[in-house]
Amino acid sequence: MSDTPGFATRAIHAGSSPDPATGARATPIYQTTAFVFDDADHAASLFNLQTYGYIYSRLTNPTVAVLEGRIASLEGGKGATCTASGHAAQMLALFPLMAPGLEIVAANRLYGGSITQLGRSFQKFGWTTKFIDFDDLDAVRQAIGPNTRALFCESLANPGGVITDLEAIARIAEAANLPLVVDNTMATPALCRPIEWGATLVCHSTTKFLSGHGNAMGGAVVDSGRFNWTAAGHFPTLAEPEPAYHGLRFHETFGDMAFTVHGHAVGLRDLGASMAPLNAFLTITGIETLPLRMARHCENAVVVAKHLAAHPAVAWVNYAGLADNPYHARAHKYLGGQAGSVFTFGVKGGYQAGKTVVEAVNLFSHLANIGDTRSLIIHPASTTHRQLTLEQRAAAGAGDDTIRLSIGIETVADLLADLDQALAKAA
C-alpha cells in the first residue's frame, strides 16, 4: 500500500483491520451496551479521559469507531463523531460553539428540515440564526456580528442544487475568526472534500449516500483539526476549564483532537444522540462501494436531466451538470465536474401537476429520502418543505411546481420510460 492510499482504497480499508480476537475480516457488530474494565485504575483512567478505550456504547463503540475513522479519512479530517441522524450531527457540531444569546449565519438555501431546525428548534436553546444568500458575499460579511459563532452551509444544496463557493466563504469565516460548518451530504467526499477548501467542520447525514441503501439511519461530524479554539477567544467550551472533568481544558489537552474528544466525552454523553452499532456496520459496508455508486449516480443523473430539459411537459430543469446552469463552473471547481444525483425540475401545471407526477411513477419510489441505490421522487412543496413560508420555499428552490429526483443506479432507459409515462398523465 502506498504512503497515501487512494480514495477507493480508503473507502474499503480506512479505520478497520481484521478482528484481533477472531480474525474476522468484516468489522464485527459489537452489539453491547458496556465494556468490562481491567481493574479500578483502568476504569478511573477511562473516565478521566487519560486512556483511550470503551466504557459505554452511548460514548464509544468499536463498530462505530471504525466508521468514524473511515469517514474522517475520506473527508481528510482529524477525527469524527458519529450520531443517530444527520440532524443530530448538526446539533453536535454546533453544541460546543453555542450558548444562549449567540447566533449562526446560515445559507438560506438548505434542506427544509435544516431551516426548521436552525430557525425554530434551536431558538429554544437561545440560539438564533440569520439566513443569508451565500452567493452574496458582502451580505454574508455584513451579517456577521459580535455574537456570531459559526457559518453554516451545504456544499451542494438540497433540493435547489446550489453549489456553494466554499473557498470564498471559508475566507470570510477565517477573517472573522469563526468556524465554517459544511453539510456535505449531497456531494459526499467522493465528489467534494470541503476541508480542502477551508471548512472547519463537515456534517453528514450518513443515512443518504454514505450508507447508500436506504437501510441505516445515522450522521457524522468531521473535524479538520485546524481551528485554534483557544486563540479565537470566544469558544470557552473547548478552551476553558471543564468542571465535569476536574478543570481539564479540551483544546490544551487534546490539541487537534479537541473537538472530536469533546463530541464523545460531552456531546454524546449528555445529548445521547448515539449511532447504533448495527447502523454503523451497514454504513461501513455501504461506504465500500461509495466511489462506484457515485460514479453511476452521476452518470445516470446527467442523462435524465438532459432528457427532461427537452421534454415538452417540463418547464425547467435545475441541475449543475447541464452546461447552461449558473453553477456549472462551480461543479467543475468543487465537484470534479460532476453535480451529484439529486436535482429538481418544474412540471408544467404547477402544484397539482407535481402531485400527479409523483403519484403516477412506478419505478421511482415516492418517499422522503435521497442517496439510495433506488431512484426516488418527491414533491417538496407538499412534503419536506411544507413547514416553510412561500418565500422560504422559493429561496430553497422548492416552489409549487418543483419535483425533486434522487437518481439511482438502475438501467437509465427504464428511468426515462417511467418519467415519460408519469409526465404524460400529468399533462
* 356: CATH: 3.90.1150.10
The pLDDT value recorded for residue 399 is 78
**Domain of 221, in residue numbers:** 7-286
Alpha helices, H only, 361-411: 390-396
Range name among 3-12, 373-382, 393-402 with the lowest pLDDT average = 393-402
Q: Within 350-389, where are the H helices?
A: 350-360
CB 209 within 8 Å of CB 78: no
* 311 plus 282 within the same structural domain: no
- Look at residue 1 and tell me if it is in a domain: no
pLDDT of residue 396: 66
Q: Is the pLDDT of residue 400 over 70?
A: yes
Task: Cell numbers for 379, please give them.
Answer: 414533491
Whole-number Cα distances in Å, 342 to 6, 123, 301, 322, 405: 26, 30, 8, 13, 6
Among 222, 254, 286, the domain boundary falls at 286
Look at phi and psi of residue 418 and say left if phi exceeds 0, alpha if psi is from -120 to 50, else beta. alpha
Instruction: State what percent of residues in the chain have pLDDT above 90.
Output: 89
> What pLDDT band is residue 129 in, cutting at 50, 70 and 90?
very high
Q: Give the CATH number for residue 206.
A: 3.40.640.10
Residue 330 cell numbers, joined: 462551480
Per-residue pLDDT, 379: 87
Among residues 251, 286, 321, which one ends one of the domains? 286
| pLDDT tens column, 213-263 | 999 999 999 999 999 999 999 999 999 999 999 999 999 999 999 999 999
Tell me: do 256 and 150 sit in the same domain.
Answer: yes
Does 1 score more than 60 pLDDT? no
User: Exposed, middle or buried by CB within 10 Å (0-12, 13-18, 19+), for 23?
Assistant: exposed
- Backbone torsions φ then ψ of 243, nearest 5 degrees: -60, -35
Q: Can you read off the three cell numbers belonging to residue 266?
A: 460531552
The amino acid present at 302, given as its one-letter code, is V
pLDDT at 142: 98
User: For 189, what's the count of Cα atoms within 13 Å in the CB-facing half-sphere?
Assistant: 29
Q: Do 277 and 396 fall within a single domain?
A: no
Residue 41 sits in the same domain as residue 88: yes
Specify the amino acid at residue 236: P
Among residues 251, 267, 286, which one ends one of the domains? 286
Domain identity same for 34 and 129? yes
Q: Please report which confidence band the pLDDT of residue 384 belongs to, taking 50, 70 and 90 as the band edges.
A: low
In the chain, the percentage of residues whose pLDDT exceeds 70 is 98
Least confident of 91-105, 157-171, 207-221, 263-277: 157-171
| Domain total of the chain | 2
Measured in whole angstroms, the distance separating CA 149 from the mean position of its chain's CA atoms is: 20
256 and 396 housed in the same domain:
no
Instruction: Indicate whether 350 and 219 sit together in one domain.
Output: no
Q: What pLDDT shows up at residue 92? A: 98
Dist. CA 165–CA 398, nearest whole Å: 21
Q: Is the pLDDT of residue 398 over 90?
A: no
Give the C-alpha separation, 155 to 162, whole Å: 8
Least confident of 51-65, 179-193, 387-401: 387-401
pTM of the model as a whole: 0.95
What mean pLDDT value characterizes the chain? 95
Give pLDDT, residue 395. 67
**Pair 256, 294 in one domain:** no
Residue 391 has pLDDT above 80, yes or no: no
Give yes or no for a contact between 58 and 272, defined as CB atoms under 8 angstroms apart.
Answer: yes
Q: What pLDDT is stored for residue 3 in this prediction? A: 74
